[in-house]
Amino acid sequence: MESIIYAVLALGGLALLAGITLAIATRVFHVEGNPIADQVDALLPQTQCGQCGYPGCRPYADAVAGDEAEVNHCVPGGERTMLAIAELMGVEPKEVEEEATQPMVAFVREDECIGCTLCIKACPVDAIIGAPKHYHTVIADHCTGCNLCLEPCPVDCIDMLIKPELLEHWSWPLPNTQRAQQGRERRSQHEAA
Amino acid sequence: MKLLDVWHKLRGASGFDGGVVLDMHKQTAASPIVDCPLPSVLIHPLKQHIGASCKSLVHVGDTVLRGQKIGKSQGYISAPVHAGTSGRVVRIEEHTVPHPSGLGMPCIFIEADGEDRAVAVGPKLHHWSMEEPAVLRERVRLAGITGLGGAGFPTYVKLLKDQRSPIHTVIINGIECEPWLTHDHRMLCEQSDTMVQGLMLLLHMVGAKRGVIAIEDNKPDAIAAMQEAIEAWYAASEHQKALKLSVQALPTRYPQGSEKQLIQAITGHEVPAGKLPMHIGVLCQNVGSTYAIYQAVTHGHALTERVITVSGDALPKPANMRVRLGTPMRFVFAQCGLEVFDDIQIIHGGPMMGERLKNAEAPVVKATTGLLAMQRDVLLAEHQVEEPCIRCGHCSDVCPVRLVPNLMADFSRQGDFEKAEEYQLFDCIECGCCSNVCPSHIPLVHYFRYGKGQLAQIRKEKSFAEASRQRSEQRAGRMEQEKSEKAARRSRVRAQAKPAVTEDKDA
Amino acid sequence: MMIHISPPHQHGGDSIRATMLSVMIALLPATLCAVWLFGWLAVWQIMTCMGVCMLGEWVALRMMARPSRLSDGSAALTGLLLALTLPALVPWWMTVCGSLFAIILGKQLYGGLGYNPFNPALSARVILLISFPLAMTSWLLPAATMPAAVDLYDVTTTLTLFFGGVESLGLTLDGMTAATPLGYIKTDAMQGIAVAASLQAHDYSYFNAFVGNEGGSLGETSALALLIGGILMLARGTIRWHIPVTYIATVAVLAAIFHAVDADRFAPPLFHVLAGGLLLCAFFMATDPVSSPMTVQGHIVFGIGCGLLTWVIRTWGGYPEGAMFAVLLMNCTVPLIDQYCRPRVYGHR
Ligand code: SF4
Ligand code: SF4
Ligand code: SF4
Ligand code: SF4
């Protein structure tokens, strides 16, 4: 009788211990359930430019997650984004057709602006401020350079300027040695293949 | 881990791990500091420190005095910029600065009127020991002092008192482990009394009791001079025996003068990752900064000049010079007999951590420790070849931070930046020991900079994308709301309109 | 466009060539000793190995359209190392095959210098041993103990031996070869002869083992020459002490413990240290930078592993000598060792 009690106690204790360990483990190694569309969306540059053929990044992410779109349509995202999405989706990388241009920023020629607010309505990221009948301004730090505000402007007073290269934003390129450059070439060949 | 620590102690004979013995080329070790004449135009970049850029306070045509604040600091970690001499502001425009990118930044050009009239940042405080540390600290901030050892961290931030980690030791860094440079060496020899005073001042400001002047053992004259000065001070002042001042000679081994390595050598403790020396109760100040702090407090001088070493294997007359900040490098080199810069490569700082500059047009700034004119072919030949890594491990042997440089470089080269970061890429102090010893001439430090830059860029893009997404979602929400409001309004209007119509019909 | 070049702008002056040269210089005593022991035959072997290795490297790089790396001396060093691990009597075509194995299979196929997971010389040597077990275990007697009929210091005799084999001189292998000490104690042990008795029967002397006057591969017999070379490399900073010291110490300690337990079955530590290719492997093979771990902690693990495996293979394995297998086996573990033996980074817990 006694031995049975001991056995039950020991087994129960062990089970309890294992249960606690498991419970802790689930806490510690908890992974947020992240729907794939969210994960794809997180990889996109959020330029909201529509160059992918969808009205914005989120719709494109939904399409990719639903296997309705290829992974290589995002132009501003370039190769890096394509590779990241391909890896996430577990599909073969595809070449990005259009090269992304230099980073641009919109600029309103303020003396020509008639304050029609049409560009404000067009901007997907609220980067333009201004009241009706007063000239508008682009918040350069918020502008994604998506060009969407150019078209609606009735007096064509918005220019796209190349983002100035600032010393603070400069970063070191790869060394100029043959080996480094070879590595870069081989990598791009590998990725293209 | 304890055992490992003991092991590292045994290994690091000079008090820190790794390190290399370099050819020192200290040709100017015996040349007294001379004054560099005043050029006709001084160029003041609006950012000469780590942190936020300054805002110009002057306009073209304004007249300014030496020591007048012309750039206002913005943000907590920042330091103001002062005019180097009296004169007129002639231009405010982009100009090349000592930076590896070769890019420029807004600079204020001052045409000297030759009178060099000065204005102080505050009254002279000869009896500083009576003053509150906070007052003195504010003075240091107003004087625009940054670390003069090359990194350019605003000094007053380091002097802030933190109740949680009181400072017990102040170290004056007179190591000067970079080859060619000798300005700190000369300062220690020529200004030894001021140095002791400066150390006292620092001890007073942070409330510490122990002061150490650390000097590498290849400068026996500086060690002797400082020892003498400290003895003289002990003899003169009996009432301050509570303070413990000492000179510590350390073995000549690069990078002994790197702040974290020096602290390890002197206190035996490591600065925890992501923390500052103050968190383990240590304040480390460079010789030049100490001098500048002392001048700012006792005389009210803003930081408008510094001592640099002008040297190099292509320079006819090397010298240690006291140079006004903003002096164009071309002018400084001209004083040393160098006018033509064909086949010459200028290095800003020492050869181990200094940057290669495109031309001699940039001005001397607060972070300029030295200017080297080197023969370009000789210098570039070193950088031409890069052979495959033979895994010899020399690089990890000499790394003072105990990293595995070749793997980090491999990951960076392959674009696997996350992996490089996992190997603690960001702990690399870019001392250059690893590149220096690599038999395959792999530009390891360059790969680290590339990797760090790319990681920073990726992060920046990420956060920008995140902010854009939020704005776009907000906008979508707002439009949705507007639409539903509009619809509601329309239906309300219709609801109101309808009865009216029926009434009409009825009537 | 501006070319950006990062500091440091001062280099310590070390180069691959200097490293390789320094190892070759350190191998000089062992090489001279090989010539003293085996006469011109050693010269032919060494020259063939080095020549074929360099040629193979040149052709391989040529075929892959890569820049030539002959001037860095790594191929020459591989050749020299391989030659020193060969028995003096292997025929020329085996030497040639071995050299080609070393360069092409052992090195270039993996991507060339710096990418080979195994020491090229050792891997070639093991391929040869497995492919030609008889030739690779026929140890020529040193010149001093050679029957008078064969003069190893004579050019034509040695050339005939090298190209034509023993038969061309009308001799048999038996008369000219002898087992190595490790070999005979192993065969004797199988017949139940105690170690001491076996050593006595073969006139074993520590002195001969120390200067190298016994059977064995070209460069592995003389402990003295190898020690001189090893110390030279340590003094010049070409290698670090951790691998050789932990390697040899592990073997010695293991041998000492087991010898103390059962002196009849287990050979004494000094015998183990002086015997076979241990010193050659410890100083020159295990320390090969490319195929050994990076960090000091890694070196220690690696050295201990090599020592353990060497002694285990010698004692219980099928082959009398285990040093080369041990080093190759440990080469496989290097990525793992590198992964786990990372020093604690400054300021991290
Ligand atoms: S192309 Fe890229 S950035 Fe533009 S909307 Fe589509 S996913 Fe967004
Ligand atoms: S301002 Fe124009 S270019 Fe910039 S994000 Fe808005 S719509 Fe796009
Ligand atoms: S020093 Fe150079 S060759 Fe040696 S392991 Fe480091 S990177 Fe590789
Ligand atoms: S540059 Fe970085 S990796 Fe290289 S030795 Fe210095 S701290 Fe270590």
Q: Please state which of the ranges A151-160, B1-10, B279-288, B359-368 shows the lowest mean pLDDT.
A: B1-10
Nearest CA to ligand 1 atom 8: A57
d(CA B247, CA B252): 15
Which chain A residue has the Cα nearest residue B413? A180
Structure token pair of residue C211: 């200067």
CB of A119 closer than 8 Å to CB of A139: no
HSE at residue B276, side-chain half, CA atoms within 13 A, is 14
Residues C8, C14, C20, CA angle at the centre, nearest 5°?
Answer: 150
Kindly indicate the confidence band of residue B466, based on its pLDDT and cuts at 50, 70 and 90: confident
Q: Which atom of ligand 3 is nearest to the CA of B388?
A: 3
The distance in angstroms from the start CA to the end CA of chain C is: 44
Residue A189 confidence (pLDDT): 59
Question: DSSP letter string over C19-52?
Answer: HHHHHHHHHHHHHHHHHHHHHHHHHHHHHHHHHH
Of all residues in chain A, the one with the smallest CA distance to B443 is A175
Q: Write a three-state SS string for B238-270.
A: CCCCCCEEEEEEECCCECCCCHHHHHHHHHCCC
B55: enclosing H helix or E strand: strand B55-56
The confidence band for B503, taking pLDDT boundaries of 50, 70 and 90, is very low
Contact B177, B369 (CB under 8 A): no
Same domain? For C293 and C328 the reply is yes
Among B137, B122, B281, B266, CA closest to B201: B137
| Closest to C312 measured CA to CA, from C231, C274, C257, C349 | C257
Residue C53 one-letter amino acid: C
Question: What does the pLDDT look like over C130-139, one tens digit per residue?
Answer: 899 888 888 8
Task: Say which residue the tokens 């033996």 belong to.
Answer: C341
The answer to whether residue B490 scores a pLDDT higher than 90 is no
CA distance B448 to B409: 6
Q: Which pLDDT band holds residue C48 (cuts at 50, 70, 90)? A: very high
Q: Whole-angstrom Cα distance, residue A8 to residue A15?
A: 10
Distance CA B112, CA B121 (A): 20
In this prediction, residues B13-39 reach a mean pLDDT of 88
In chain A, what are the domains?
Answer: 35-89 (1.10.15.40), 104-165 (3.30.70.20)
Ligand 4 atom at minimal distance to the Cα of residue B18 = 5
Round the CA-based radius of gyration of chain A to a whole number and report it.
Answer: 26
Neighbours of chain A (3+ CB pairs under 8 A): B, C
| Residue nearest atom 1 of ligand 3, based on CA coordinates | B438
Stretch B17-30: mean pLDDT, rounded? 90
Q: CA–CA distance from B142 to each of B67, B76, B293, B297, C289 (Å)?
A: 10, 13, 11, 10, 55
Residues C91 and C123 in one domain: yes
Q: With respect to residue C8, please indicate whether it lies within any of the assigned structural domains.
A: no
| Residue ranges of domains in chain B, CATH in brackets | 35-120+304-379 (no CATH), 121-299 (3.40.50.11540), 384-474 (no CATH)
Residue B386 Cα, ligand 4 centroid: separation in angstroms?
Answer: 18
The answer to whether residue C286 is domain-embedded is: yes
Q: What is the pLDDT of residue C186?
A: 86
Q: How far apart are CA A76 and CA A65, in angstroms?
A: 19
Give the pLDDT confidence of B213-239 residue by residue, as tens digits: 999 999 999 999 999 999 988 888 766
Most confident listed range (A127-141, B152-166, C71-85): C71-85
Please, which residues have CB within 8 angstroms of residue A115's CB and are 6 or more apart in sequence? A130, A131, A132, A133, A134, A135, A136
Q: Using an 8 Å Cβ cutoff, are B417 and B474 in contact? A: no
Let me know if residue C39 belongs to a domain.
yes
Residue B497 pLDDT level (bands cut at 50, 70, 90):
low
Is residue C11 in a domain?
Answer: no
Contacts of B148 (CB under 8 A, 6+ apart): B286, B287, B288, B289, B292, B306, B366, B367, B369
Q: Where are the alpha helices (DSSP H) in chain C?
A: 16-63, 74-85, 92-100, 120-131, 133-136, 155-164, 173-176, 181-190, 195-201, 206-211, 223-236, 242-261, 269-274, 278-280, 296-316, 323-340
Residues C109 and C249 in one domain: no
Query: Which residue in chain B has the smallest CA separation from C345?
Result: B402
A-interface mutation test, from B96, B468, B475, B482, most A Cβ less than 10 A away = B468
Domain count, chain C: 2
Judged by CB atoms closer than 8 Å, whether chains meet at C3 and A172 is answered as no
Whether residue A57 has its Cβ less than 6 Å from ligand 1: yes
Ligand 4 atom closest to residue B398's alpha carbon, by position in its atom list = 5
Residue length of chain A: 193
pLDDT of residue A182: 66
Mean pLDDT, rounded, for C51-75 = 89
Which of C251, C254, C253 shows the shortest CA–CA distance to C275? C251
Other C-beta atoms lying within 10 Å of the C-beta of residue B494: 9
Question: Confidence band (pLDDT; 50, 70, 90) for B88?
Answer: very high
DSSP state of A163: P
pLDDT tens, chain A, 193 aa long: 677 777 778 777 888 888 788 777 767 766 555 578 888 888 888 888 888 888 888 888 888 888 888 888 888 888 878 888 888 888 888 877 776 667 788 888 888 888 888 888 888 888 888 888 888 888 888 888 888 888 888 888 888 888 877 787 888 888 877 777 666 565 555 555 5
The residue range of the domain holding C204 is 181-214+239-339
User: Cα-atom radius of gyration of chain B, to the nearest Å?
Assistant: 28
Q: Give chain C's mean pLDDT.
A: 89
Return d(Cα C109, Cα B200) in angstroms, integer.
Answer: 66
C133 and C50: one domain? yes
- Looking at residue B4, its pLDDT comes to 44
**Can you tell me the distance from the alpha carbon of C272 to that of A185, in angstroms, rounded to the nearest whole number?**
51
Q: Are residues C243 and C156 in the same domain?
A: no
Q: Rounded CA gap, A172 and C158, in Å?
A: 61
Q: Quote the CA–CA distance of A78 and A188 in Å, as a whole number.
A: 13
C191 and C335 assigned to the same domain:
yes
Task: Judge whether C240 and C19 are in contact, CB under 8 Å.
Answer: no
pLDDT at B387: 87
Task: Kindly list the distances between the CA atom of residue B322 and the CA atoms of B304, B327, B361, C210, in Å, as whole numbers in the listed order.
Answer: 10, 11, 19, 66
Is C172 within the bounds of a domain?
no
SS3 of residue B38 by DSSP: coil
Residue C308 CB-density burial (10 A; 0-12 exposed, 13-18 middle, 19+ buried): middle
Set of chain A residues whose Cβ sits within 8 Å of the Cβ of B461: 45
Tell if the CB–CB gap between B413 and A57 is shorter than 8 Å. Answer: no
Question: Which atom of ligand 3 is nearest the CA belonging to B393?
Answer: 5
- The closest CB to that of A44, out of B101, B415, B465, belongs to B465
Question: Taking the CB of residue A56, how many other CB atoms lie within 10 A of it?
Answer: 22
Query: Are C65 and C128 part of one and the same domain?
Result: yes
Residues of C with CB under 8 A from a CB of A: 3-6
Taking phi over 0 as left and psi of -120 to 50 as alpha, with beta for the rest, C80 belongs to alpha
How far apart CA B279 and CA B266 sit, in angstroms, is 16
Query: What stretch of H or E contains B437?
Result: helix B433-437
Vertex B220: Cα angle to B218 and B221 (nearest 5): 130
Residue C68 shares a structural domain with residue C120: yes
Question: Strand B55-56 to strand B69-72: parallel, antiparallel, or no bridges (unpaired)?
Answer: antiparallel
With 0-12 / 13-18 / 19 or more C-beta atoms within 10 angstroms meaning exposed / middle / buried, residue C13 is: exposed
Q: Which residues of A touch C68 (CB under 8 A)?
A: none
DSSP C91-117: -HHHHHHHHHIIIIITTGGGTSTTT-S
Separation of alpha carbons B188 and B179, rounded Å: 17
Residue C105 has pLDDT above 60, yes or no: yes
Sheet of B69-72, strands arranged across? B55-56, B69-72, B81-82
C133 and C253 within one domain: no
Q: How far, CA to CA in Å, does B122 sit from each of B119, B135, B142, B300, C127? A: 9, 11, 9, 5, 82
Measure Cα distances from B180 to B25, B27, C162, C172 in Å.
Answer: 5, 7, 59, 70
Can you tell me the distance from the alpha carbon of B504 to that of C285, in angstroms, rounded to the nearest whole number? 108
Q: Band of the pLDDT at B347, cuts 50, 70, 90?
A: very high
**Is C324 contained in some domain?**
yes
For residue B418, the CA-to-ligand 1 centroid distance in Å is 25
Q: Which residues of C touch A173 (CB under 8 A)?
A: 4
Residue C56: the pLDDT is: 94
Chains A, C: CB contacts within 8 A come to 8
- pLDDT per residue over C172-219, tens digit each? 777 778 888 888 888 888 888 888 888 888 888 888 888 888 888 888
Which amino acid makes up residue B380? L
Find the A41 Cα to ligand 2 centroid distance in Å.
19
- Do C31 and C106 lie in one domain? The reply is yes
Whether C72 and C188 share a structural domain: no
Contacts of B9 (CB under 8 A, 6+ apart): none
- Residue C257's pLDDT is 95
**Residue A180 at interface with chain B, using a CB cutoff of 8 Å:** yes
Q: Record the pTM.
A: 0.85
Q: Tell me which of B431, B436, B437 to substitute to probe ligand 4's pocket, judged by most ligand atoms within 8 Å of the beta carbon.
A: B431
The shortest C-alpha distance from C280 to chain B (Å) reads 19
Q: In this complex, do B440 and C9 lie within 8 Å of one another by their Cβ atoms?
A: no
Cis peptide before A59 (omega within 30 of 0): no
* Residue C10 located in a structural domain: no
Residue C181 vs residues B317, C12, C83: alpha-carbon distances, Å: 70, 45, 21
Cβ of B428 less than 6 Å from ligand 4: yes
Instruction: For chain B, say whether C148 makes contact (Cβ under 8 Å).
Output: no
The alpha-carbon gap from B272 to the nearest alpha carbon of chain C, in Å, equals 4
- Residues C114 and C208 both lie in one domain: no
For residue C348, being part of any structural domain is answered with no
Res C45: pLDDT = 93
